[in-house]
Amino acid sequence: MGVTELGYVVFGVSDLAEWREFATSLLGLEAVMEPGEPNRLYLRSDYHHHRIVLEQDGRDDLSAAGLRVAGVEEFAAMQANLRAAGIHFEQGSPELIRQRRVLDLIILKDPADNPIEIFHGPLIQPHLPFHPGRRMHSHFLTGGGVGHMILRNAGLDAMYRFYRGLGMRGGVEYKIAAPGGNSAEVLFMHCNDRDHTVAFGPPGSKSVNHLMLEVTNIDDVFMTHDLMQASKYPVMISLGKHANDHMFSFYVQSPSGWLVEVGYGGRPATHQSEYYERDTYGHVFSAQMGPGMSIDK
Ligand SMILES: [Fe+2]
């Protein structure tokens, strides 16, 4: 009855033209503009009309995390559950439903004020196979949704209760030594076979810390890494492998400041809790990384 995947993500950006170049020529995503929507860029990574929406509004932050439910019955049940839990939500306007290309959606905020949309029925376009923005060895892995995100945290108990209420499961998977003998805990939640769909660590100012996109061939991680190193966008966390989801990945700073993780080889979600104190190897923070800016390691 719960959410089934991170179906789409919407970001407000300052410079749509710069983002288009970053998303297509460097990340390999496909860009689509629709008639009558001059300030909105849709990014594709599979048969869905879009997996990422960019809107030129200067926010440089998350505008919506689109969490999918299976169908009309689950959509009604989710609203009943939210009402019973005293969680406020609003119905999506016909204009928003048209823009998002879904059958129906509701709008709400999580306890950290992160913007959430719960929807069912995305537009799938089997006649328009994914056309990468530049050469790729493989394609994006989207069976478990667009990817994962680390979102702003308002306390792990509150975040756990909210996302558990949406049907997700998970737990603390990292306890990282912090100054003063303390440790920083990071919570990971999953809703399908992807190891995690949302995660929460040390509080940040933006809703989004990073968005992870997974590819199906390790060569595409190295190719994207080469392209980023030759670009003006700094690699903020070096190539390495996470202890929890086994993802081999690196992190680059997007034109909006938050990070994009490109990864390969994530393992399916585990169904027993366990935790780690560090990553398997690599993932060295760049000198440009402020303390606490990333919490994946
Ligand atoms: Fe990640």
Contact 8, 124 (CB under 8 A): no
Please report which confidence band the pLDDT of residue 291 belongs to, taking 50, 70 and 90 as the band edges.
low
Chain segment 79-92, per-residue pLDDT in tens: 999 999 999 999 99
pLDDT at 295 over 50: no
- Residue 297 CA: distances (Å) to CA of 225, 236, 240, 281: 19, 13, 10, 10
- Is residue 296 one of the residues assigned to a domain? no
Range of the domain at 30: 5-122
Q: Tell me how far the alpha carbon of residue 72 lies from the centroid of ligand 1, in angstroms.
A: 31
Q: 236 and 186 in one domain?
A: yes
- Is residue 187 one of the residues assigned to a domain? yes
Q: Tell me how far the alpha carbon of residue 226 lies from the centroid of ligand 1, in angstroms.
A: 20
Q: 165 and 47 in one domain?
A: no
Q: How many other CB atoms are found less than 10 A from the CB of residue 181?
A: 6
Q: What is the CATH number of the domain that holds 170?
A: 3.10.180.10
Phi, psi of 262 (to 5 degrees): -115, 125
pLDDT in the model for residue 290: 61
Quick one: which of 128, 136, 135, 101 has its CA closest to 8? 101
**In the chain, what percentage of residues exceed pLDDT 90?**
91
Chain segment 107-150, per-residue pLDDT in tens: 999 999 999 999 999 999 999 999 999 999 999 999 999 999 99
Residues near 114 by beta carbon (within 8 Å), at least 6 away in sequence: 62, 65, 151, 152, 207
Q: Tell me how far the alpha carbon of residue 150 lies from the centroid of ligand 1, in angstroms.
A: 7
Q: 40 and 93 in one domain?
A: yes
Mean pLDDT, all residues of the chain? 95
- Is residue 292 one of the residues assigned to a domain? no
Find the radius of gyration of the CA atoms of the chain.
Answer: 18
pLDDT at 293 over 70: no
Q: 238 and 156 in one domain?
A: yes
Of 63 and 296, more confident: 63
pLDDT in the model for residue 297: 38
- Is residue 179 one of the residues assigned to a domain? yes
Q: 278 and 193 in one domain?
A: yes
Of 204 and 255, more confident: 255
Q: 174 and 87 in one domain?
A: no
Domain boundary among 71, 87, 122: 122
Q: 154 and 104 in one domain?
A: no
Q: 166 and 266 in one domain?
A: yes
Q: Tell me how far the alpha carbon of residue 289 lies from the centroid of ligand 1, in angstroms.
A: 16
Task: Quote the longest CA-to-CA distance of the chain.
Answer: 57
Chain segment 157-201, per-residue pLDDT in tens: 999 999 999 999 999 999 998 888 888 999 999 999 999 999 999
- Is residue 139 one of the residues assigned to a domain? no
For the chain, what is the domain count? 2
pLDDT at 71 over 70: yes
Q: Tell me how far the alpha carbon of residue 210 lies from the centroid of ligand 1, in angstroms.
A: 7
